A and B are shown apart, each in its own frame.
Chain A
Amino acid sequence: MSDANTDRPLLEIQNLEKRFDLDQGFLETLKFKQGRIVRESRSVHAVNNISLEARKGEALCIVGESGCGKSTVARLVAGLLTPSAGEIRYGGQRIDNLSRAGMQPLRKKIQMIFQNPYASLNPRMTIRQALEEPVRHHNPGVSAGEVRDKVTEVMMSVGVDPSWAKRYPHEFSGGQRQRIAIARALTVDPEFIIADEPISALDVSIQAQVLNLMLEAKESRGLTYLFITHDLSVVEHFGTRVAVLYLGSVCEVADTQTLFSNPKHPYTRALLSAVPQLKDDRPNHIRLKGEIPTPINLPQGCPFQSRCAFADTRCKSEKPKAIHQPDGSTVACHAVEEDRLEAVAAG
């Protein structure tokens, strides 16, 4: 997918798949069907054949409705889950099959910020303990003074008063906790940060502060983000490139500006039309009918066919491939490929 003459992307995801087995153990796989006992194991296809890449200094956003596999992608990249198939490469090195010891040097480079700041800090550790622990762990032999300096520097940079370090997480508000969680990720001087809906649990007034803090850190520390969210207005503000996920498959990948000015995939169009506007000059929301199909029995063909206004027989039988568009975006849709969209809209 990547051009041969440009330098290598920092993160490459190739044909990534993750299935969660529903029936674990031999006895659960036995089913009684049509008078016979058959062996059958079902699994949830959370992520299906995803290929993505993130370049250095980029903020790659992954958007989609709940249950589309965005968080699974984040956890796969962070090494919290092991993929069922496919490869993840970081800086050219394959990381999805590394042992815990082999992963250790990368732990300093790849960090993660979690969704719920009320759960992502250990309630029995003071802020100082929580922040000093990773510094000590990754830099053995560092003096107590240096550790303290590092912690103070990181706390200052996220706007948390270093004199609060003796307190416990429950003494802070959600926004402050998320700042501390960000500080904890920054203590090891990472270059790549996976943010799994970092602001969706926060109050709207706090969201902008935390977002700006993350942007500042991006500028000052040269960070690359993989930003998971369901909030398109956040994407517009934060992302440089966007990947739209539906039912574990990528619909469209494009630069933020391209995506917002010229969405191509029918699902992306529906998503963008649903963003609330201050001045509602676009009253024609695209109403999607139906529900997301269950990821246990994936439909054959395009995952979006059951809710797409442009679906035809080809969409029902053949899964669309990601195709490069002239404006640099990548779209997986038969209708876009065949130029059917405008024809239907016009007629």
Chain B
Amino acid sequence: MSTETLNPKSEPSRWSRAWNSNMGYSFRRNPVAVVSMIVFLLIAVASFLAPLIAPYDPYDPAQIDIMNSEYPPAWINGSLPGFILGTDDQGRDLWSTILYGTRLSLLIGICAVALQAFLGISIGLIAGYVGGRLDSLLMRLADIQLSFSTLMVAIIFLAVTQAMFGTDTFNKYAVVFLIAVIGVAEWPQYARTVRATVLAEKKKEYVDSARVLGFGPMRIMVRHILPNSLSPIFVISTVQVANAIISEASLSFLGLGMPPSQPSLGSLISSGFDYIFSGSWWITAIPGVVLVVLVLVINLLGDWMRDVLNPKLYKG
């Protein structure tokens, strides 16, 4: 790889190759994808730079004054100039809290999907490549897993762990528990898709050629079949990130996710829900809008990617 960068004139950079590829072209020609990408990047960058951008630190009790609670956003009468989007029930600046909350939601979503992908891709590859009894066994496991809804599994698991470890310990490791449960509950999505592509790929002659050359099954799976099965993996990954963010928000809304002291978007919506009829609609509505926009743009990107990477439309 390193030698290829020595000759910049004949070999275009990776960025310009990506920009000029079929995918880059279709991206430029699709305004929905461009807008979604811009919005997603804005949200992602803003949330990951939260400690720099946010005017207050919602995790620092010293900066929170309960007397500031429930101030409306800046464009409504009775607002306080320091709080652009108003404050929540504990007196935290809503803008800062949303930034930190979005960061948590995205982090949980992406890590949970990484866990799902790891489990699902390994199991799918093995099931598809080895086949036979092992394949049947793993796929029946996936069927059993799919017959429980993700939320049900998550609620039972989180309720039990909360009772087992006590609320304090649970709140401390809530992020880890959420990632684990959302990650484990959804692996069959990946496993089935990967298995299906592996079944199609392993019949191709390059796999036979690798076998004749004496490569081991591990090498054939990881180096030969997996790189050729990536397109569907990309597509489900985007959709699954959106799903994971929604799952996390639902669990937090039900009080089984992030604690109120470290709010994610879901727990922020939940905490504002108690005040929605007393006039403080913004505590629920504004994080709700952020959540909807975030999930929507990810889904739109996933849609675009599914169209582009569809092997019937584009042979990659």
Contact = CB atoms under 8 A, between A and B. Distances in A.
Interface string B184-225: 000000000000000000001110111111111001000110
B206 A122 contact: yes
A241 interface: no
Given A114-B208, A114-B209, A116-B205, A122 B228 contact: yes
A177 to B, nearest CB: 11
Given A122-B224, A123-B228, A107 B204 contact: no
Interface in B97-142: none
Interface in B3-26: 4, 11
Contact of B204 (A108, A119, A125): A119
A121 B212 contact: no
Contacts of A100: 214, 216
Nearest to B212: A112
Nearest to A194: B212
Contacts of B279: none
Interface string A146-187: 000000000000000000001000000000000001001000
Label chain B's interface by main secondary structure: helix
Interface residues of B, number: 19
A158 to B, nearest CB: 16
A121 B206 contact: yes
Given A119-B204, A122-B224, A181 B212 contact: no
Contacts of A115: 205
A134 B213 contact: yes
A104 B128 CA distance: 24
Given A119-B204, A166-B4, A137 B215 contact: yes
Interface in B286-307: none
Interface of B: 4, 11, 204-206, 208-216, 219, 223-224, 227-228
Given A137-B215, A184-B213, 14 more contacts: A79-B212, A100-B216, A107-B212, A110-B212, A115-B205, A119-B204, A120-B206, A120-B209, A122-B206, A125-B224, A133-B215, A133-B223, A166-B4, A184-B209
26 contacts: A79-B212, A80-B211, A100-B214, A104-B214, A107-B212, A108-B214, A110-B212, A111-B212, A114-B205, A114-B209, A116-B205, A119-B204, A119-B205, A120-B205, A121-B209, A122-B206, A124-B228, A125-B227, A133-B215, A133-B223, A134-B213, A134-B214, A137-B213, A166-B11, A181-B209, A184-B213
